[in-house]
Amino acid sequence: MFHKDLGETGKRLFRDFPVLRMLWESGRKKGIAELVETVRRAEEFKRNYALPYALELDKRMEEEPEYFDWEIMRQACRYRFLSIFIPKQLGGSAGEFMVTNTSLLMDELCSGCSGMALAIGAHSLGVAPLVTSGAMGHWDRILGEIVEGERKMEPVTMAYAITEPSAGTDVEEPEFLEVAKLSLEARKVQGGYVLNGRKCFISGGSEAKYVTVCAALDKSRPLETWTTFLVERGMKGFSSPRVELKMGQRASHAAELLFEDVFVPDSHVLGYEGDGMANGILMIMAASRGPVGAIATGIARSAFEHFLRWAKTRRNGKRPIDEDRIRMNLADFWGMIQENRGLYMSNAMLGDSIFGKVLAAPVMVLTLSLPSFVRTNKVMNDFLNSRYGKAMVNAIMRYYIKDEDITQLLETASLAKFSCSDNAMELCSRALNLMGPDDSEERRWVEKAYRDAKLTQIYEGTNQLNRLVVNNVRFEETLKVEVPRPFKKGVVS
Amino acid sequence: MIAIPWFKESKQYAVLRSNAMNFAASELAPVADELENTVDSPAFWKVVEKAGSMGMLAALVPEKLGGEGVDPYSLCVALEECAVESAGFAAALLFHNAALVPLIYADKKELVEEFSSGRPLATTATAGKVDLEGERLRGKATFVFNVLEGCPVLLFPGSPAGHEVVYVKSDYPGVEAKKDPYPLGWRVSSFASLELAGAEPYFKLKEFQREAKLSTERALYLGLAAISVGIARKSFEKAYAYARQRYQGGKIIIEHQAMRMMLARMLCGIEEGKAAIRRACEVEELAPALIAWRRASNNACQAAMDGVQIHGGYGYMRDYGMERLMRDAKYCQMFPASEEEGLLRILEMVEERC
Ligand SMILES: Cc1cc2nc3c(=O)[nH]c(=O)nc-3n(C[C@H](O)[C@H](O)[C@H](O)COP(=O)(O)OP(=O)(O)OC[C@H]3O[C@@H](n4cnc5c(N)ncnc54)[C@H](O)[C@@H]3O)c2cc1C
């Protein structure tokens, strides 16, 4: 394979991300080619679908906040974005560099429309705990269904639900979870758990067929009993009664989820009781806050690209770009975008060096290369969903994924998240100030980016929380990801 | 609401402020959401009527011409108080009042009477490019609010020199209003760009064009600064109240220093904006008004953005009213000129004097 095989997309990526070129030159050609292919598909999505339609959809969502355009997800199927976090052996489109792939995808999609990108990204966020918890007992059924749906252009989606009406920041950090006022509780009963309470602001929660949900088994000891469940649409008592009217990123819904005596069987615990903070939250945040930095970067790029077009358009005989005030700022803006990319790429590459080891581990390769009927056969499936099966998977995961690696990953993720989102907000804001009251299509795009960017300072932990994480991990060493032993006694009293 | 303890005004303004505050609380606040969602609603005209009865529809026009004859600071006080409840409504009032300023120079009582009858409101169009060619208006005026059938629009054609102040009516032949129902902010009044293809002016100012234009601009910049302060105040009030009731991290969030810092920064911003406005009202010059506008609108944007942040996810949702402040504040910063254009004019104004 040669440079030229990577086409225009490869050329652009190598110019914007010299580190990719370096990896290519040093022999990681397959992985890099996969990244380029993802971005190429994202460019096509942006060109053919997002750009022609995003402003219209944004308006429509304002009039009909309940509306959801499934065409976004069908298009995502077409470009294979729904299986971006699903290993190849299971039919998915995850490449060798899974986190980098997701980050680059988000950057590119958000430079088209971050609302659509969120609809797609929130699904991957829902898939993530299923993959990282090593819940192999569900992989063939659910991940298989997602892949199959993608193939048939009948999207099957997931969502990730941790936020509760009175606990947002609190569910994202161990120290705060301990003192959180929670709504949702999962009570242990014979053969499973009964969930009661609410989650709120869940992206894609109203469309998802499967939702990964974190809940305390005992609200008075939330940290110790925090557990991740797989909840399925159709389970009795589970509903999504309302969606919000958001300022931006409107193409995706933020839904409230209601749990009224929802029975969830034992097999649907992802990981095990009490590992929810480490496995269900911190591990996911460590892998997803970087991509949120990429989302912010994509939004900044959207503002930048429209701003640049505006600046080069002659109006009343003049081009704005001929003025210093525009040129000085354009260079600043590009600097901010590249600074962001440096930050989210550091996180992504660290992520891939950690997770890549597991996916390449002989035992994992072997398990995944077995024909699916072996894994789905009842005996094997029961084993994988049993305590012993989970203990085995956990042992493998722990062998490859060290707590200190995830802690370090979390730090880089939080850093990328708040820096990229602050830069994006500033870029959009300054671009609008420079455009002033000019009547142009481009201004509408930058206004959209301005509304969209604000969300990136809030979700996946507010920027204040993410700054605390960096402090606690790096300067104070008080925040360490510590995956508890499987089946620690006393989780359920 | 929390009163800022060090803020003192002379009795005259304090009375005015208290009246405006009552108006905003009793007339505007109950319908603020409705105004935001439906342009040209009966509720809007009811508030406009009430504002008219309080002299807010010809505030700057001297009494002898049928106006209220107040000084710019008084108008700022009224606009600031209105903006606390509805920045969009305050902006509508401002564009209307600014549009009447040249009539003072024209000494046209009948026009003042006609324009301030209350429906439709007049408006000021400063952005875009319009020229007067052979007594016909051509070009495009952008970012025009209050555009309803038959509304008088004040324009400042770029050429020829000596014809800087002209009015046209929005339903005249040769005027096409391209409406946009979803501007980023100031949703209350109807937003459009006006394409002018040979429209006849309704009225042209023959003398004092330069003075009239500068006075109108000064009123606009001061008014926008005042609206910005109103937005910053509302952001503070909402964020402060929310921070005192939201529990997170083991305490109410106002006890987290990160929240306190943002709230304190808002107070500084409000005070800076107010001080700059007061200072700018003391001198009849454009540059201090521009400075006040920049200060106040930058601070309002920051305050509203921080207000959303303090509300967390709730701040991002329409129901909580915080995101609206963020959108409204942005237009205070982008209008009537881009930030740098405003900045460069400050230097130009000084150079002109040297
Ligand atoms: C559009 C949207 C989509 C979302 N999607 C999802 C999703 O898919 N899944 C999901 O689970 N969640 C989702 N969220 C929730 C999101 O992650 C939370 O909104 C976020 O974590 C903040 O929580 P909160 O809104 O409760 O704010 P709060 O936690 O109440 O924060 C309010 C303010 O207090 C500050 N604060 C809180 N605690 C502290 C502290 N200890 N020290 C200093 N400052 C503090 C915060 O920084 C913030 O400024 C979404 C939110 C939005 C708006």
A113, A66: one domain: yes
- Put simply, whether A181 touches B (Cβ < 8 Å) is yes
Please give the pLDDT value at position A371: 85
Of A472, A450, A451, A454, residue with least CA distance to A463 = A454
Structure-token pair, residue B348: 């130009």
A79, A91: one domain: yes
Please give the pLDDT value at position A488: 73
A483 domain residue, yes or no: no
Where in the sequence is the domain holding A229, given as residue range(s)? Answer: 160-268
Q: Which amino acid is at A65?
A: P
Nearest chain A residue to B251, by CA: A179
ipTM over 0.85 threshold: yes
Task: Summarize the confidence of residues A323-330 as an average pLDDT.
Answer: 97
- Put simply, whether B317 touches A (Cβ < 8 Å) is yes
- Minimum-distance ligand 1 atom for the alpha carbon of B317: 53
CATH superfamily of B210-353: Butyryl-CoA Dehydrogenase, subunit A, domain 3 (1.20.140.10)
Is A458 in contact with B140 (Cβ distance < 8 A)? Answer: no
A150, A40: one domain: yes
CATH of domain B123-208: 2.40.110.10
Of B149, B190, B195, residue with least CA distance to B176 = B195
Q: Which of B182, B248, B318 sits opposite A169 (nearest CB)?
A: B248
Give the CA-trace dihedral at B146, B149, B154, B156, to 10 degrees.
Answer: 100
Supply the pTM of this predicted model. Answer: 0.97
Q: Round to whole Å and give the CA distance between A133 and A385.
A: 12
A321, A216: one domain: no
pLDDT higher than threshold 90 for residue A5: no
Class of domain B11-115: mainly alpha
Task: Summarize the confidence of residues B197-213 as an average pLDDT.
Answer: 94
CB A480 within 8 A of CB A402: no
Residue ranges covered by each domain of chain B: 11-115, 123-208, 210-353
How remote is the CA of residue A318 from the centroid of ligand 1, in Å? Answer: 45
A166, A93: one domain: no
Please give the pLDDT value at position B164: 84
Helical segments of A111-220, H only? 114-132, 136-138, 144-152, 174-177
Between A98-107, B158-167, B205-214, B257-266, the lowest mean confidence (pLDDT) is in B158-167
pLDDT higher than threshold 60 for residue A275: yes
A363, A437: one domain: yes
Nearest chain B residue to A62, by CA: B182
A144 domain residue, yes or no: yes
**Preceding omega of B120 cis (within 30 degrees of 0):** yes
- How crowded is the C-beta side of A60, counted as CA atoms within 13 Å? 12
A400 domain residue, yes or no: yes
CB B179 within 8 A of CB B190: yes
Tens-digit pLDDT profile for residues A117-151: 999 999 999 999 998 888 888 999 999 999 999 99
A245 domain residue, yes or no: yes
Task: Summarize the confidence of residues B151-168 as an average pLDDT.
Answer: 90
Helical segments of A64-113, H only? 70-78, 98-110
Torsion over CA: B32, B36, B42, B44 (sign): positive
pLDDT higher than threshold 90 for residue B249: yes
The residues, ordered by sequence, that sit 6+ positions from B207 with a Cβ below 8 Å of its Cβ are B105
Q: Which of B250, B313, B339 sits opposite A168 (nearest CB)?
A: B313
The larger pLDDT score, comparing residue A3 to residue B33, is at B33
Q: CATH number of the domain that A132 lies in?
A: 1.10.540.10
Percent of chain A with pLDDT over 70: 99
A128, A223: one domain: no
Return the residue in B142, B334, B348 with the most chain A beta carbons within 10 A, the one to mutate for interface testing.
Answer: B334
Structural Rg of chain B based on CA atoms: 20
Chain A hits for B182, Cβ within 8 Å: 59, 62
Q: Which helix (H) or strand (E) holds B216?
A: helix B209-245
Please give the pLDDT value at position B15: 94
Number of domains in chain A: 3
- Put simply, whether A63 touches B (Cβ < 8 Å) is no
- Tokens 């081009």 correspond to what residue? A319
Q: Round to whole Å and give the CA distance between B197 and A127.
A: 57
Task: Summarize the confidence of residues B152-164 as an average pLDDT.
Answer: 88
Between A415-429, A463-477, B5-19, B312-326, the lowest mean confidence (pLDDT) is in B5-19
pLDDT higher than threshold 70 for residue B1: no
A128, A167: one domain: no
Judge whether B123-208 and B210-353 match in fold: no
A239, A190: one domain: yes
A289 domain residue, yes or no: yes
Task: Summarize the confidence of residues A39-47 as an average pLDDT.
Answer: 98
Task: Summarize the confidence of residues B71-76 as an average pLDDT.
Answer: 97
pLDDT higher than threshold 70 for residue B264: yes
Tens-digit pLDDT profile for residues A166-203: 999 999 999 999 999 999 999 999 999 999 999 999 99
pLDDT higher than threshold 60 for residue A493: no
Between A309-318, A376-385, B329-338, the lowest mean confidence (pLDDT) is in A376-385
A305, A444: one domain: yes
Task: Summarize the confidence of residues B204-216 as an average pLDDT.
Answer: 94
Tens-digit pLDDT profile for residues A372-396: 888 888 898 888 888 888 888 888 8
Percent of chain B with pLDDT over 90: 89
Q: CATH number of the domain that A304 lies in?
A: 1.20.140.10
The shortest C-alpha distance from A33 to chain B (Å) reads 38
A328, A461: one domain: yes
Q: Round to whole Å and give the CA distance between B168 and B172.
A: 7
Q: Which amino acid is at A217?
A: L
A295, A438: one domain: yes
**Class of residue A344 by CB neighbours under 10 A (exposed 0-12, middle 13-18, buried 19+):** buried
